[in-house]
A and B are shown apart, each in its own frame.
Chain A
């Protein structure tokens, strides 16, 4: 077999047993790899109604056929599980050396089930699995854990681990690898923590050959050249933090818990400002020519912090909580990475709490004496620490905005800025109407990456301030496109280097695997993967009313900036959601008809019960 091993490694932490599950050509061609294959494995391995924090919830690491090909940006992997935050599918991506090492252990996917009785370090060395004592790692940050594991098992070992937040089961805890890269959204770190699994150490030499290495080398050279051109300019220069000043000007930068869409102090956390004052260097994932990561360091004489800065972290720990001090945002982002917490959900949950404090629903007594004011960087840092340790108010906030708002009540649910319990990213839906739909219908909750629906809003193809019934088709196409990027797996920042993603990727897939594939096959695979995600959610209790946006978005108009006075009504959103269901070929209630399942070759999965193990 080329491009794949054709098998998954199944590890049962409860029984300390392992086994191999064959993955045949039919499955691999239908679901490709990455998020797609991960969705299939989740659907088949997670028994219906599983408590996400129970031993039955599988934690699945998935490679792709391109891992090991050395094509630029292809060293990526997916982490898929049932999200403890949303109760629906939780799928995240991360990247770099760990992807290659995982594949070189001899599997296309690692499926972890059960729960260890003691803190565990799982070591996999060329398929040789050991359950090692991980108690000495408890309490260590993500970087400390990675270093400790490397000291113990060798420098070449690649490590995926959780920080203190994952140990404490913070529902939006992340999994960290390769010096701070994060599988961040939907709480996979909490699932790993629930399994008493502190770290996974990987070493492998079992690389998979590609079918046509000459063709792949030639394509690889061309793709690398394109990756250094106009198609990736922003990511190579300022990185994603370039968004801050532009989004602020366009009135799409969520500020003070989405009460505004402009931020007066945006300059201090802008890409331009950071580049001038805090920039250290650009960094690359393994086998990546783009180098989008911008390493920033504090420079104000306070506690030193150095780390990556992405737009989403800058937004969530900056404007969203009213903080415009760049050094404070660097410190907060670095803290989240070390504690192992998703920066978006961390910042958004604190923003919700700040608004509660502003409105008198939380007091200094509740906060342990902290004045939880918007714009206070000391309060931000203090509460981040309380969340990671589940101390005081932090224990409530570790549950995420939706659950916290249900406890506090008194109308605070209206400003819990979540979709399907996942906190919203840094795209104001009232002034980005296609994105609004993308956020509402996304299977993993409020996610900008699984549809990239903002692409249409930032173009001359739609009026971003007005809703219409064309957005359903745009969003569905964006989701299918993203599903293929996330399953092959390509970095999204490479997407514009392709003239025709489907056709070019199909050719590459054929050269890697030796199996026939064309553009239509891939397009259909993207649709199939999104439908299977939806099938999983339906099985786990999805209801049509879950495809919506927070009350604030539907009832308050934007008060500032160029989008002042712009809102989004419930009727407008319903109209767009219906247009999306129609574009998908679903019923008006958002169910998938049997004909569609048959068309997508998914009927067999619905009719087969999930594996009831361990």
Chain B
């Protein structure tokens, strides 16, 4: 079970940039998410679904627990998000794009 501490309740605003289908479906190239400073991917998905409900189904799972496997979150162009919790700061950018590399 994941540890809980005070930072779980601290929210941070981060910029989220959307690419590909996520951008086309939502009509947004970027939005601002308010998420826990230490977020699981599901926290990002819930916040994104709140702002862009059209993403639920095509990009975000119907139960809003995460992304479909064909999409991935990336933090500030460097770290790809797995299942683990990530620490976010206001300077971070969350990118959402296809997990299918190459072509």
Binding site for B on A (CB under 8 A): 230-235, 237-240, 242-243, 245-246, 249-251, 271-272, 275-276, 292, 310-312, 448-449, 452, 454-455, 457-460, 463-465, 492-493, 496, 562
B32-49: CB near A (< 8 Å → 1, else 0) gives 000000000000000000
A230-B69, A234-B100, A246-B20 known, 7 other contacts, Cβ within 8 Å: A234-B21, A242-B98, A249-B19, A249-B77, A250-B77, A460-B80, A464-B78
Does B81 count as interface, using CB distance less than 8 angstroms? yes
Tell me if B68 and A230 are in contact (CB < 8 A).
yes
A471 to B21, CA, bound (A): 31
The residues of A that contact B68 with a CB separation of less than 8 Å are 230, 233
The residues of B that contact A465 with a CB separation of less than 8 Å are 78
Tell me if A242 and B20 are in contact (CB < 8 A).
yes
A457 to B80, CA, bound (A): 10
B-side interface residues, number (CB < 8 Å)? 26
The residues of A that contact B71 with a CB separation of less than 8 Å are 233
Tell me if B20 and A492 are in contact (CB < 8 A).
no
The residues of A that contact B102 with a CB separation of less than 8 Å are 240, 243, 448-449, 452, 454-455, 458, 492
Tell me if B19 and A233 are in contact (CB < 8 A).
no
Tell me if A245 and B19 are in contact (CB < 8 A).
yes
A413 to B80, CA, bound (A): 36
CB-CB nearest 8 A-B residue pairs: A240-B103, A233-B70, A458-B101, A230-B70, A234-B98, A460-B80, A562-B77, A234-B100
A232 to B74, CA, bound (A): 20
The residues of A that contact B100 with a CB separation of less than 8 Å are 231-235, 493, 496
Q: Find A235's partner among B17, B77, B81, B103 (CB 8 Å cutoff).
A: B103
Q: With A233-B68, A233-B100, A455-B101 in contact, is A460–B82 under 8 Å at CB? A: yes
Tell me if B101 and A454 are in contact (CB < 8 A).
yes
Q: With A234-B100, A235-B103 in contact, is A458–B80 under 8 Å at CB? A: yes
Residue of A nearest to B25 (CB): A237
Does B95 count as interface, using CB distance less than 8 angstroms? yes
Residue of B nearest to A427 (CB): B102
Residue of A nearest to B80 (CB): A460
Does B24 count as interface, using CB distance less than 8 angstroms? yes
Tell me if B21 and A243 are in contact (CB < 8 A).
no
Tell me if A272 and B20 are in contact (CB < 8 A).
yes
Q: List 19 A-B contacts (CB under 8 A).
A: A232-B100, A233-B68, A239-B103, A240-B103, A245-B19, A245-B20, A246-B19, A246-B95, A249-B17, A250-B77, A276-B24, A292-B103, A452-B102, A454-B102, A455-B102, A458-B80, A458-B99, A460-B80, A496-B100
Does B79 count as interface, using CB distance less than 8 angstroms? yes
Question: In angstroms, how far is the closest chain A Cβ from the Cβ of B11?
Answer: 25
Q: With A246-B98, A249-B17, A460-B82 in contact, is A562–B24 under 8 Å at CB? A: no
A434 to B79, CA, bound (A): 15
A233 to B21, CA, bound (A): 9
Residue of A nearest to B69 (CB): A230
Tell me if B101 and A310 are in contact (CB < 8 A).
no
Question: In angstroms, how far is the closest chain B Cβ from the Cβ of A454?
Answer: 5
A231 to B70, CA, bound (A): 6
B11-32: CB near A (< 8 Å → 1, else 0) gives 0000001011101100000000
Does B54 count as interface, using CB distance less than 8 angstroms? no
Q: With A233-B68, A452-B102, A492-B102 in contact, is A272–B82 under 8 Å at CB? A: no
